[in-house]
Amino acid sequence: MAETTNMAGTSKAANDAQEAMKKQIAELRREIAKINRTLSDRAEEAQGWYESAAERASRAARQLRSQAHTVTETVQQNPGTISTAMMLGGVLGVLLGIVIAKSSEPERRWF
């Protein structure tokens, strides 16, 4: 009779352990499902951000192309004006450089 009680105790302990393990597995499954939902939400957010950034970049590229085309047409239609503006900019740059160089030199005194 002691063996029967011992076997019943062992069987109950095994069932309890099995039930505890089933609960832990169920809890882990719930946690994994929660993590998967979070990852899915974040992936959707990232995809939305990426699509938005790609759309903005595409719009910016189209705008730059349009502006470059406009500048190119202007230069082709007015080559003299552009040349004059470039030469005037160069002359002003040289003059500005001379002024800055003179102002940064220490004053020379001849005694």
pLDDT at 7 over 80: no
pLDDT of residue 85: 85
Q: Which residue has the higher pLDDT, 82 or 70?
A: 70
pLDDT at 1 over 60: no
Q: pLDDT-derived band of residue 102, with 50, 70 and 90 as boundaries? A: confident
The DSSP code sequence of 43-109 is: HHHHHHHHHHHHHHHHHHHHHHHHHHHHHHHHHHH-HHHHHHHHHHHHHHHHHHHHHHHHHHSPPP-
User: pLDDT by residue (tens digit) across 19-60?
Assistant: 999 999 999 999 999 999 999 999 989 888 889 989 999 999
Q: And the tokens for 109?
A: 């005194």
The DSSP code sequence of 22-50 is: HHHHHHHHHHHHHHHHHHHHHHHHHHHHH
pTM for the complete prediction?
0.44
